[in-house]
Amino acid sequence: MKTPTLGIIGTGMVGAGVARRAVAAGLDVILSNTRGPESLGGLVAELGPRARAATPADAAEEADLVLAAVPLNARKQLPIAELVGKTVIDPMNYAVYPGAEIAELDDNELTSSELVQRDLPGARVVKAFHNIGPKQLQSLARPAGAADRTGIPLSSDDPRAKKEVADLLDLLGFDAVDLGSLAESWRSEPNTPLYAVAYTGQPPAGLSIPDAVAWFQNAPGIPIPAARIAELAATTTRGPAGFRF
């Protein structure tokens, strides 16, 4: 299997975290953000010779797979033309702020990944990396066949794209758990047992929202096998979409 080059659009916690895991696993990464390649010198230096910086359009065009690690409300700023024909990994989650509500998501008419697919009509969208934190992505990686290997869910309407991302997860040290189509991706979104808590356990009681977020970001991680991921996905029920602020 050819080792893919991973293009990353957006270098916040998710994008940088996936980049670190990818480089550690022996992949080449092309980093990009809206501030320009010159803003990424520090991260490129940290990651070493397997990383380079580019514009979002160039990262999309030159990579084999693309991680669109941007806020959901910035999805229309992605380089749509350059993403035509590409497998695009969607780690976006719906954050509900006053004045930024999306009626189709609030009414559960669509999942957020179906919305992303609609706005990237030529791409093959795969929902993944949205429910595990960057720290746990590093600490829980294991070689294939390890007894304590962790599963990560993915969803897509495209079988070929789903296979490409499953292979990527394997390279990064995780088992892929197929949840089905993008319409089923809510099973691992916020407000379900598979979102964050599956990989960290429950935070201490009484934390404020900022303190709880910080706790999740720094939790060391708890291995969870693919079979348990599949079981939780099958038995969860659909609640309100997104984070409410």
Instruction: Give the Cβ contact number of residue 1 at 10 Å.
Output: 6
Look at residue 66 in the predicted model and tell me its pLDDT. 98
Q: Residue range 153-182: average pLDDT?
A: 98
Q: How far apart are CA 93 and CA 28, in angstroms?
A: 26
129, 152 contact by CB (below 8 A):
yes
Q: What pLDDT band is residue 198 in, cutting at 50, 70 and 90?
A: very high
- 135-153 residue pLDDT tens: 999 999 999 999 999 999 9
User: What residues make up the domain containing 165?
Assistant: 5-244
Query: Exposed, middle or buried: residue 2 (CB in 10 Å: 0-12, 13-18, 19+)?
Result: exposed
Query: Contacts by 30-39 with C-beta closer than 8 Å and gap 24+?
Result: 30/5, 30/6, 30/54, 30/58, 30/59, 30/62, 30/63, 31/59, 32/7, 32/8, 32/56, 32/58, 32/59, 33/9, 34/77
Mean pLDDT of 31-56: 97
Tell me what pLDDT residue 245 has: 62
Residue range 34-42: average pLDDT? 95
Please compute Rg for the chain using Cα positions: 17
Asked if residues 179 and 155 have their Cβ atoms less than 8 Å apart, the reply is yes
pLDDT at 239: 87
Q: Is the pLDDT of residue 177 over 80?
A: yes
Q: What angle do CA 225, 228, 232 make, to 5 degrees?
A: 145
**Helix/strand/coil (H/E/C) assignment for every residue in 111-168:** CHHHHHHHHCCCCEEEECCCCCCHHHHHHCCCCCCCCCCCEEEEEECCHHHHHHHHHH
CB 56 within 8 A of CB 35: no
User: pLDDT band at 98, cuts 50/70/90?
Assistant: confident
Q: What is the mean pLDDT of residues 179-200?
A: 95
CA 205, 196, 172, 56 torsion: positive or negative?
A: negative
pLDDT of residue 99: 79
Q: What DSSP character marks residue 204?
A: P
DSSP state for residue 175 in the 8-state scheme: E
The CATH number of residue 200's host domain is 3.40.50.720
Helix then strand then coil, % of the chain, to nearest 5: 40, 15, 45
Per the listing, tokens 């693309």 go with 66
- What is the count of structural domains for the chain? 1
Average pLDDT over residues 50-74: 97
pTM check: above 0.85? yes
Query: What is the predicted pLDDT for the residue at 1?
Result: 61
Which two structure tokens, joined as six digits, stand for 218?
């720094």
- For all residues of the chain together, what is the average pLDDT? 94
| Confidence bin at 96 (pLDDT 50/70/90) | confident
Distance CA 111, CA 205 (A): 30
